[in-house]
């Protein structure tokens, strides 16, 4: 692979990694608080449709973004009510919401636009524009790093940079604030929080809401950044890849960045089988590249590469000890 | 949020009342069970106050009321002379009450410092909270011998150190009253001694300590006053210096209505079960059963007396094939495997051991299963319950259940009723019927009458004796001393995973056994 | 909370959950400007209104019975198998390999062999997550999800690179030999009459050879195998030692160990049976209908199994009823897509809502019912 191809693939990888990263951070907040969330996919899909539809109608991508967050939050609220308030099965609730999202997004889009469940193609102010970072031109002359800056780092939409910025922010919130301390504690041992006089329910709802907002960003990026409009099932399992990345990252923000970049890179490579073949000298089937994130996750889950220990209280509704 | 005031100096102006806590007429019922009945107690400030009583006497319920986990049905709580309501843990903390639970409420992968500040942070940012807590922790450690590395992860600490973290948590929240629930249950003797030094230091600085325990030695060595609870009531409060372990044991056990157990002298035969150096580690690697040895002969009931949690459960589980163990166990001359795939409940049943477990609800029965399904539990491979090579004969099982229900007087005698619909006594009769009716060579039976009504107690006792009279061996584990005394032919007392000694019921009394159970008897 | 009588818990709770799901769905329809009543009418006509419609409804129901049973067997062992979709796809692979292996002389022989292939491949796909759960504690929900995606990728690869005949464009296997054709309802003598075609004059239409013509429906003999599977699963769960051990383990792992039941053995066996049942679904769609293996052959039936199992309260009879209900929903949804502006995806929404109300908000439903019973008791 020559340098130009590498830059090109890296650029695509960053685009592909962005929704994964946002969804992965969403899952991170939720699961760190003890709420397993396999509903990332559904929330993203709902957000993608909301963003696409509102941006198409109003012509404003920012209104689309707000709609995306709202749509995702609606689903997050249902997940919270089912799994926190009514102590239902968190996994089943997530599965259910994914199905509802898969169907209802098409229903709404079809009823609004009548284009087979798609939203109209977005253009201009209805899409996030690419931003050229300062000095991209000038620095482009610097060998190696210059083109990398100009071609890969620069020239993305605002949400890409927001996603990247959210990594240190998430880390800071989790490890440097009171809220983060309590959030992590409630996912490990809710009794420790409860006996310290802090509300378990409130903490867990906050986490679920944060997850909703982040999935909203992820979905909005899908339909207004990565693509120009919403299409049915457009998230195509990204919520599950994000979940896989979360396990791969062992529920930590920086590792989530690396995991999603890796998975994004694999997705980008899957688009360029010619490059893979020229590099490895054997024809690696594209489906294998597609499946690699899942295979890697199973290997991690099996404990062959370190042990992925989920938050100890994850998946369990909290019932005050009798 | 706590200010930096420290070290037991009285934070506020001297309160009017000499009592840190007064409880007046506290009652609490769970359904039909009266856990606390009209409890009155006054705990003077700056003392260590022991609360002693058997398992289920209502001590923990009382303390949970003080910490806002339960609300009393009636009665009044006064802290420093002022009436307070404690609807939740936050209120308890505000009232200056700190609690060290039997099962610690710590976050395993947090540092000591993080655990200490959790819920008592100074502001939204952690750094200043952590820095302040580090300083305060340093002061507290020096003052009370509470040294713990503030940056250590909880999961890397010994149980004793984890407990210190719990105490530090309470002190960091400026607790003036510290309640400890069975604090030494998980500690080594050395760690326990250290804990008591800490507690005395705290008392000398003016704190009030409430020590809940069932161990007489701790009460005698550590407390200033002691209250005795029995069956939900407070039977006495005395100065520790003016009492003796003997009289406390008597108060604690009380004079229960002794059920008349008619039994003939034992006709003892050959050794059925021989146990040598049996040891069991729990999942955390802690040795719970520390090498016990004994024999049981045909036609005798060997009683194991002891306070719950001293290795009896592990003994039953090891013999019943549930827990892996080390040592040598010989049944009818054949050695039993103690680890590996052949050490399981079914293999033990096939070898002739029946097992009525201590906890019928989580082990002995599947509560959602019907009575007849439960009668097949553990025996579902029994040829009697099979139609052919493929199918179980549920009708045979139902018929057998109906017969057993008649023999063992299970009420209501409806095999199709789920186990959870029966009363505790009738649930136990189902388990007893299942296990005893097979005429095992050895019966393991734990807490046979826990939560069982008087009529059923008598019935179950008769069954145990009938089995023994038919020349079988019985290993009886019970925390009820009178049950042990009236049923057993020999008594072993267990304490801290070991056998403290052997007594014959006719040559001992409850007082002596009570002392041994509390770890005070000679070996 | 008031304790509900057993009949209310078994009968009313799923019914109310279903009603709530239907009400929310109606709300969705109103919100997108459609008439719920019209939708219901179209669905009923399209799914139940004719023998032809039933031929589709029961075809879908057949698949859902298998996947519902698969989820149920795992559920009884306390395991949530979300991997039915992947296991069903692998089952399809098993069926295809068997059917393409020989020029089968008669469908009965082909069926037995294909069932074996389907069950074997489905079980094998469930075996790895089961082993990882039993031995390494890897959460089976996550591993089975991952295995769904791995299965999809594997099948795409095999269909494109291995099974696709030379010269064919679409990623699918070759057509199965005619000896592997399973009788569809219109080809089964006693059912045949129901599917006879009539001309506008009301007279039976005849083909060139003067024989009566029949409407083609996808429902096939697999339907009867599905009913047999219901019975066998029921027998297995409630009338064999194995079923007893599975149910006991699912209720309480701790107590099961007391009874001498090995967790490893039960997890493995329950998941193998579950995977085999999901795989057997392929007899219906791959062998009975498509007669070749195509991409995404299970088309979501593996997931619908979750809804079917929850709705059917994990009992084979309930699963049968719930599967027919979802067959109705599926076929009715297809009719909606054809005859109205309502997108076919409505059925996915209903499916999700049923899972939500029966599986995650069941406590809420019980509380609502409990309040009702408490009030009734008070008056």
Residue in chain A nearest C304 by alpha carbon: A99
Q: What is the CATH number of the domain that holds B225?
A: 3.40.50.300
CB A5 within 8 A of CB A194: no
Q: Which of A39, A26, A36, A54 is nearest to A101 (CA)?
A: A39
Q: Compute the count of residue pairs across chains A and C with CB atoms less than 8 Å apart.
A: 154
Tokens of C346: 């409505």
Q: Is residue A44 part of a domain?
A: yes
Q: Is residue B393 part of a domain?
A: no
Answer whether the bond into residue C325 is a cis peptide, omega within 30°: no
Verify whether the Cβ–Cβ distance B108 to A188 is below 8 Å: yes
CB A229 within 8 A of CB A52: yes
Q: Scan for tokens 């507290």, then name that residue.
A: B140
**Whole-angstrom distance, CA of residue B40 vs CA of residue A253:** 54
pLDDT of residue C1: 43
- Domain with A45 in it: 3-128+142-301
Q: Quick one: pLDDT band at residue A26, thresholds 50, 70, 90?
A: very high
- The Cα-based distances of B227 to B61, B179, B185 in angstroms read 15, 14, 19
Q: Tell me how many domains chain A contains.
A: 1
Would you kindly state where each structural domain of chain C is located, as residue ranges? 13-184+219-372
Residue in chain B nearest A179 by alpha carbon: B124
pLDDT of residue C379: 45
Rounded to 10 deg, the angle between the C51-76 and C263-282 helix axes is 170
User: Could you please report the per-residue DSSP string of B314-352?
Assistant: HHHHHHTTSS--EEEEEETTEEPP-SSTTSSHHHHHHHT
- Rounded mean pLDDT of B461-478? 93
Residue in chain C nearest B382 by alpha carbon: C241
Tokens of A52: 């696409």
Rounded to 10 deg, the angle between the C301-311 and C51-76 helix axes is 70
The per-residue pLDDT for range C197-206, each reduced to its tens digit, is 888 787 888 8
- Rounded mean pLDDT of A245-270? 91
**Whole-angstrom distance, CA of residue B356 vs CA of residue B364:** 7
| Residues 227-266, chain C, touching B (beta carbon < 8 A) | 235, 238-241, 244-245, 247-248, 251-252, 254-255, 257-262
Q: Which chains contact B through at least 3 pairs of Cβ atoms less than 8 Å apart?
A: A, C
Question: Is the domain of B235 the same as that of B143?
Answer: yes
Name the 3-class secondary structure at B112. Answer: helix
Verify whether the Cβ–Cβ distance A82 to C356 is below 8 Å: yes
Please count the CA atoms within 13 angstroms of the CA of B238 that sit on its side-chain side. Answer: 17
| ipTM of this complex | 0.90
Buried b or exposed e, range A218-243, using 16+ CB within 10 angstroms: bbbbbbbbbbbbbbbebbebbbbbbb
Top-confidence residue, B56 or A204:
A204
CA-based end-to-end distance of chain B: 51
Asked if the model's pLDDT at residue B2 lies above 50, the reply is no
CB atoms under 10 Å from CB of A68, counted, come to 34
**Whole-angstrom distance, CA of residue A275 vs CA of residue A281:** 10
Indicate the burial class of C275 (C-beta count within 10 angstroms; 0-12, 13-18, 19 or more).
Answer: buried
Q: Is residue B329 part of a domain?
A: yes
Chain C residues whose beta carbon lies within 8 Å of the beta carbon of residue A96? 352-353, 355-356, 359-360
* Phi, psi angle pair for B149, to nearest 5°: -70, 115
- The Cα-based distances of B399 to B390, B411, B436, C234 in angstroms read 20, 16, 17, 22
Q: Quick one: pLDDT band at residue A187, thresholds 50, 70, 90?
A: very high
- Rounded mean pLDDT of A247-252? 89
Residue among B347, B355, B392 whose CB faces C240 most closely: B392
Mutate to test the interface with C, among B352, B359, B379, B380 (most CBs of C within 10 A): B380
Indicate the burial class of B142 (C-beta count within 10 angstroms; 0-12, 13-18, 19 or more).
Answer: exposed
**Whole-angstrom distance, CA of residue A3 vs CA of residue B11:** 70
Answer whether B376 touches C (CB < 8 Å). Answer: yes
Percentage of chain B lying above the pLDDT 70 cut:
93
Q: How far is B200 from chain C (nearest CA, A)?
A: 41
Query: Could you tell me where the beta strands, DSSP code E, fall in A8-73?
Result: none
pLDDT of residue B8: 37
Q: How far is B115 from chain A (nearest CA, A)?
A: 8
Q: Is residue A309 part of a domain?
A: no
Q: Is residue B383 part of a domain?
A: no
Residue among C241, C252, C255 whose CB faces B380 most closely: C241
CB B37 within 8 A of CB B189: no
CB atoms under 10 Å from CB of B489, counted, come to 21
Q: Is residue A137 part of a domain?
A: no
Residue B74's DSSP bridge partners are B27
Verify whether the Cβ–Cβ distance B369 to C238 is below 8 Å: no
Q: Is residue A311 part of a domain?
A: no
pLDDT of residue A260: 94
C13-184+219-372 CATH: 1.10.3470
Q: Which of B116, B139, B138, B143 is nearest to B129 (CA)?
A: B116
Q: Compute the count of residue pairs across chains A and B with CB atoms less than 8 Å apart.
A: 70
- The Cα-based distances of A252 to A205, A218, C113, C300 in angstroms read 20, 18, 49, 33
- Rounded mean pLDDT of B129-148? 88
Answer whether B337 touches C (CB < 8 Å). Answer: no
- The Cα-based distances of C265 to B330, B344, C133, C134, C245 in angstroms read 28, 13, 12, 9, 10
Q: Which residues of chain C have pLDDT under 50?
A: 1-2, 379
Q: What is the CATH number of the domain that holds A120?
A: 1.10.3470
Tokens of B296: 């049981």
pLDDT of residue C209: 85
Verify whether the Cβ–Cβ distance B89 to A195 is below 8 Å: yes
Verify whether the Cβ–Cβ distance A189 to B119 is below 8 Å: no
Q: Tell me how many domains chain B contains.
A: 2
**Whole-angstrom distance, CA of residue B45 vs CA of residue B17:** 9
Verify whether the Cβ–Cβ distance C260 to B348 is below 8 Å: yes
Answer whether A312 touches B (CB < 8 Å). Answer: yes
Mutate to test the interface with C, among A40, A96, A318 (most CBs of C within 10 A): A96
**Whole-angstrom distance, CA of residue A24 vs CA of residue A20:** 6
| Residue B158 Ramachandran class (φ > 0 left, ψ -120 to 50 alpha, else beta) | beta
Percentage of chain A lying above the pLDDT 70 cut:
98
Please count the CA atoms within 13 angstroms of the CA of B315 that sit on its side-chain side. Answer: 32
Chain B residues whose beta carbon lies within 8 Å of the beta carbon of residue C252? 362, 366
Q: How far is A51 from chain B (nearest CA, A)?
A: 33
Question: Looking at B227, B253, B279, which one is the last position of a domain?
Answer: B253
Chain A residues whose beta carbon lies within 8 Å of the beta carbon of residue B95? none
Verify whether the Cβ–Cβ distance B344 to C257 is below 8 Å: yes
Q: Which of A253, A180, A195 is nearest to B127 (CA)?
A: A180
Mutate to test the interface with B, among C1, C231, C241, C259 (most CBs of B within 10 A): C259
Contacts of C193 by beta carbon, 8 Å cutoff, 6+ apart: none
Q: How far is B99 from chain A (nearest CA, A)?
A: 9
Can you give A217-263 as a three-state secondary structure string?
A: HHHHHHHHHHCCCCCCCCCCCHHHHHHHHHHHCCCCHHHHHHHHHHH
Q: Read off the DSSP letter of residue C216.
A: -
Asked if the model's pLDDT at residue B352 lies above 80, the reply is yes
CB atoms under 10 Å from CB of C199, counted, come to 10
- Domain with B64 in it: 20-253
Top-confidence residue, A33 or B61:
A33
Verify whether the Cβ–Cβ distance B108 to A191 is below 8 Å: no
Q: Is residue A104 part of a domain?
A: yes
Verify whether the Cβ–Cβ distance B365 to C255 is below 8 Å: yes
Asked if the model's pLDDT at residue B180 lies above 60, the reply is yes
Answer whether B514 touches C (CB < 8 Å). Answer: no
Verify whether the Cβ–Cβ distance C157 to A302 is below 8 Å: no
B368 CA to centre of own chain: 25
Asked if the model's pLDDT at residue B4 lies above 50, the reply is no
Chain C residues whose beta carbon lies within 8 Å of the beta carbon of residue B390? 240
Asked if the model's pLDDT at residue B112 lies above 90, the reply is yes
Residue B443's DSSP bridge partners are B354, B474
Answer whether C268 touches B (CB < 8 Å). Answer: no
Chain B residues whose beta carbon lies within 8 Å of the beta carbon of residue C260? 321, 344-349, 378
pLDDT of residue A322: 43
Residue in chain B nearest A192 by alpha carbon: B105
Residue B356's DSSP bridge partners are B445
Strand-by-strand arrangement of the B74-79 sheet: B33-44, B19-30, B74-79, B82-84
Q: Which of B362, B359, B289, B284 is nearest to B319 (CA)?
A: B289
Question: Is the domain of B107 the same as that of B165?
Answer: yes
Question: Is the domain of B232 the same as that of B278?
Answer: no
Chain A residues whose beta carbon lies within 8 Å of the beta carbon of residue B114? 181
CA-based end-to-end distance of chain C: 17
The per-residue pLDDT for range B416-455, each reduced to its tens digit, is 999 988 887 889 999 999 999 888 999 999 988 877 766 7
Contacts of A322 by beta carbon, 8 Å cutoff, 6+ apart: none
Chain C residues whose beta carbon lies within 8 Å of the beta carbon of residue B394? 238-239
| Residues 120-149, chain C, touching B (beta carbon < 8 A) | none
Mutate to test the interface with B, among A186, A192, A198, A203 (most CBs of B within 10 A): A192
Answer whether the bond into residue C300 is a cis peptide, omega within 30°: no
Mean pLDDT of chain B: 87
Name the 3-class secondary structure at C353. Answer: helix
Tokens of B126: 């952690």
H helix or E strand, kind and range, residue B331: strand B326-331
Residue B499's DSSP bridge partners are B494
pLDDT of residue B7: 37
pLDDT of residue B157: 87
Answer whether C376 touches B (CB < 8 Å). Answer: no
Q: Which chains contact A through at least 3 pairs of Cβ atoms less than 8 Å apart?
A: B, C
The per-residue pLDDT for range B57-90, each reduced to its tens digit, is 788 888 889 988 888 999 999 999 899 999 888 8
From the CA atom positions of chain A, what is the Rg in Å? 20
Chain C residues whose beta carbon lies within 8 Å of the beta carbon of residue A101? 352
H helix or E strand, kind and range, residue A46: helix A40-58
- Rounded mean pLDDT of B203-232? 88
- The Cα-based distances of C88 to A212, C294, C305, C322 in angstroms read 32, 13, 11, 19
Residue in chain A nearest C153 by alpha carbon: A287
Answer whether B125 touches A (CB < 8 Å). Answer: yes
Verify whether the Cβ–Cβ distance A181 to B117 is below 8 Å: yes
Q: Which of B517, B463, A96 is nearest to C352 (CA)?
A: A96
Residue among A88, A285, A302 whose CB faces C161 most closely: A285
Q: Which of C123, C125, C122, C127 is nearest to C88 (CA)?
A: C122
Answer whether A195 touches B (CB < 8 Å). Answer: yes
Chain A residues whose beta carbon lies within 8 Å of the beta carbon of residue C32? 107-108, 110-111
Tokens of B381: 């491979």
* Phi, psi angle pair for B238, to nearest 5°: -135, 160
Q: How far is C32 from chain A (nearest CA, A)?
A: 6
Tokens of B41: 């107690």
- The Cα-based distances of A177 to A311, B111, B131, B152, C82 in angstroms read 19, 15, 13, 20, 37
Tokens of B436: 């005893």
pLDDT of residue C367: 84
pLDDT of residue C374: 72
pLDDT of residue B15: 56
């Amino acid at each position: 692979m020559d340098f130009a191809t590498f830059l090109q693939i890296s650029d695509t990888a960053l685009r592909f990694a962005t929704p994964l990263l946002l969804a992965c951070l969403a899952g991170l907040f939720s699961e760190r608080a003890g709420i397993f969330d396999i509903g990332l996919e559904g929330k993203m899909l709902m957000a993608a449709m909301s963003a696409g539809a509102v941006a198409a109608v109003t012509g404003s991508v920012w209104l689309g973004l707000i709609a995306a967050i709202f749509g995702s939050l609606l689903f997050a609220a249902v997940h919270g009510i089912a799994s926190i308030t009514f102590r239902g099965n968190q996994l089943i609730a997530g599965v259910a919401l994914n199905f509802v999202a898969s169907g209802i997004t098409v229903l709404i889009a079809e009823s609004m636009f009548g284009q087979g469940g798609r939203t109209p193609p977005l253009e201009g102010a209805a899409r996030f524009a690419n931003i050229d970072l300062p000095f991209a031109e000038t620095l482009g002359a610097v060998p190696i790093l210059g083109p990398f800056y100009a071609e890969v780092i620069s020239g993305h939409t605002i949400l890409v940079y927001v996603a990247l910025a959210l990594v240190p922010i998430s880390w800071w919130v989790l490890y440097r604030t009171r809220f983060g301390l309590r959030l992590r504690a409630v996912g490990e041992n809710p009794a420790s929080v409860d006996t310290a006089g802090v509300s378990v329910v409130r903490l867990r709802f906050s986490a679920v809401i944060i997850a909703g907002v982040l999935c909203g960003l992820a979905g909005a990026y899908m339909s207004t950044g990565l693509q120009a409009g919403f299409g049915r099932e457009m998230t195509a399992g990204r919520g599950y890849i994000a979940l896989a990345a979360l396990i791969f990252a062992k529920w930590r923000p920086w590792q989530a960045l690396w995991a999603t970049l890796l998975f994004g890179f694999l997705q980008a490579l899957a688009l360029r089988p010619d490059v893979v073949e020229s590099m490895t000298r054997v024809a690696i089937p594209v489906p294998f590249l597609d499946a690699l994130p899942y295979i890697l996750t199973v290997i991690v889950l099996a404990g062959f590469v370190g042990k992925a220990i989920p938050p100890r209280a994850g998946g369990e509704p909290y019932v005050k000890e009798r | 949020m706590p200010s930096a005031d420290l070290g037991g100096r009285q934070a506020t102006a001297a309160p009017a009342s000499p009592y840190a806590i007064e409880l007046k007429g506290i009652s609490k019922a769970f359904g039909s069970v009266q856990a606390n009945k009209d409890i009155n107690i006054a705990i003077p400030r700056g003392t260590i106050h022991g609360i002693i009583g058997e398992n289920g006497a209502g001590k923990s319920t009382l303390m949970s009321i003080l910490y806002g986990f339960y609300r009393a049905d009636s009665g009044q709580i006064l802290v420093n002379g002022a009436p307070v309501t404690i609807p939740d843990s936050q209120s308890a903390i505000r009232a200056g009450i700190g609690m060290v639970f039997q099962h610690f409420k710590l976050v395993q992968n947090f540092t000591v410092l993080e655990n200490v500040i959790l819920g008592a942070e100074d502001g939204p940012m952690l750094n200043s909270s952590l820095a302040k807590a580090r300083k305060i922790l340093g002061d507290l450690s020096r003052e009370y011998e509470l040294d713990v590395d503030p940056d250590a992860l909880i999961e890397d600490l010994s149980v004793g150190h984890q407990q210190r973290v719990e105490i530090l948590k309470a002190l960091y929240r400026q607790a003036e009253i510290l309640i400890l629930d069975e604090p030494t249950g998980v500690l080594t003797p050395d760690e326990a001694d250290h804990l008591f030094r800490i507690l005395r230091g705290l008392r000398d600085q003016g704190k009030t300590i409430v020590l809940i325990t069932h161990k007489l030695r701790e009460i005698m060595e550590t407390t200033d006053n002691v209250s005795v609870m029995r069956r939900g009531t407070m039977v006495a409060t005395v100065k520790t210096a003016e009492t003796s372990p003997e009289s406390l044991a008597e108060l604690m056990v009380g004079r229960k209505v002794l059920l008349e157990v008619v039994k003939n002298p034992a006709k003892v035969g050959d050794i059925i079960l021989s146990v040598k150096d049996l040891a069991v580690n729990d999942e955390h690697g802690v040795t719970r059963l520390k090498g016990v040895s004994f024999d049981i002969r045909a036609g005798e009931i060997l009683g194991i007396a002891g306070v719950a949690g001293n290795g009896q459960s592990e003994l039953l589980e090891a013999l019943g094939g549930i827990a892996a163990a080390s040592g040598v166990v010989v049944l009818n001359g054949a050695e039993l495997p103690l680890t590996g795939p052949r050490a399981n409940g079914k293999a033990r049943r096939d070898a002739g051991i029946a097992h009525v477990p201590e906890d019928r609800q989580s082990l002995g029965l599947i509560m959602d299963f019907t009575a007849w399904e439960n009668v097949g539990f553990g025996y579902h491979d029994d040829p009697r319950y099979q139609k052919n090579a493929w199918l179980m004969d549920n009708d045979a099982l139902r018929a057998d259940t109906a017969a057993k229900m008649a023999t063992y007087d299970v009420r209501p005698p409806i095999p199709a009723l789920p186990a959870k619909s029966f009363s505790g006594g009738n649930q136990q009769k189902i388990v007893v019927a299942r296990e005893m009716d097979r005429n095992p060579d050895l019966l393991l039976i734990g807490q046979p009458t826990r939560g069982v009504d008087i009529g059923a107690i008598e019935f179950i006792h008769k069954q145990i004796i009938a089995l023994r009279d038919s020349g079988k061996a019985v290993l009886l584990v019970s925390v009820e001393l009178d049950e042990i005394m009236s049923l057993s032919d020999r008594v072993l007392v267990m304490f801290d995973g070991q056998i403290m000694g052997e007594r014959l019921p006719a040559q001992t009394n409850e007082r002596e056994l009570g002392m041994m159970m509390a770890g005070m008897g000679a070996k | 909370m008031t304790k509900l009588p057993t009949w209310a818990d078994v009968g009313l709770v799923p019914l109310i959950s279903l009603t709530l799901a239907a009400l929310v769905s109606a709300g969705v329809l109103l919100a997108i400007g459609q008439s719920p009543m019209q939708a219901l009418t179209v669905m009923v006509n399209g799914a139940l209104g004719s023998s032809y419609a039933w031929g589709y409804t029961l075809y879908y129901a057949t698949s859902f019975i298998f996947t519902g049973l698969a989820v149920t067997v795992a559920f009884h062992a306390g395991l949530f198998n979300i991997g039915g979709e992947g296991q069903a796809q692998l089952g399809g692979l098993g069926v295809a390999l068997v059917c393409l292996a020989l020029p089968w002389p008669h469908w009965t022989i082909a069926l037995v062999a294909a069932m074996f292939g389907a069950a074997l491949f489905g079980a094998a796909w469930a075996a790895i997550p089961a082993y990882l759960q039993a031995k390494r504690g890897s959460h089976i929900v996550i591993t089975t999800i991952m295995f769904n995606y791995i299965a999809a990728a594997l099948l795409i690869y095999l269909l494109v690179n291995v099974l696709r005949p030379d010269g064919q464009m679409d990623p699918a296997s070759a057509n199965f030999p005619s000896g592997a054709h399973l009788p569809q309802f219109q080809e089964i003598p006693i059912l045949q009459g129901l599917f006879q075609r009539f001309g506008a004059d009301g007279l039976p239409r005849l083909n060139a050879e003067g024989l009566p013509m029949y409407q083609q429906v996808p429902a096939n003999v697999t339907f009867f195998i599905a009913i047999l599977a219901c019975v066998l699963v029921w027998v297995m769960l409630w009338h064999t030692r194995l079923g007893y051990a599975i149910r006991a383990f699912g209720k309480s792992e701790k107590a099961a160990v007391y009874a001498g039941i090995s967790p490893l053995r039960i997890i493995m066996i329950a998941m193998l049976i579950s995977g085999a049942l999901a795989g057997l679904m392929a007899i219906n769609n791959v062998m009975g209908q498509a007669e070749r293996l195509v991409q995404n052959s299970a088309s979501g039936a593996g997931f619908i199994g979750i809804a079917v199992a929850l709705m059917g309260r994990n009992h084979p009879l309930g699963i049968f009823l719930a599967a027919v209900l979802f067959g109705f929903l599926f076929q009715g949804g297809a009719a909606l897509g054809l005859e109205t502006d309502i997108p076919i995806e409505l059925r996915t929404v209903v499916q999700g809502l049923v899972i939500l109300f029966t599986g995650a908000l069941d406590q809420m439903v019980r509380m609502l019912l409990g309040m009702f019973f408490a009030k009734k008791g008070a008056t």
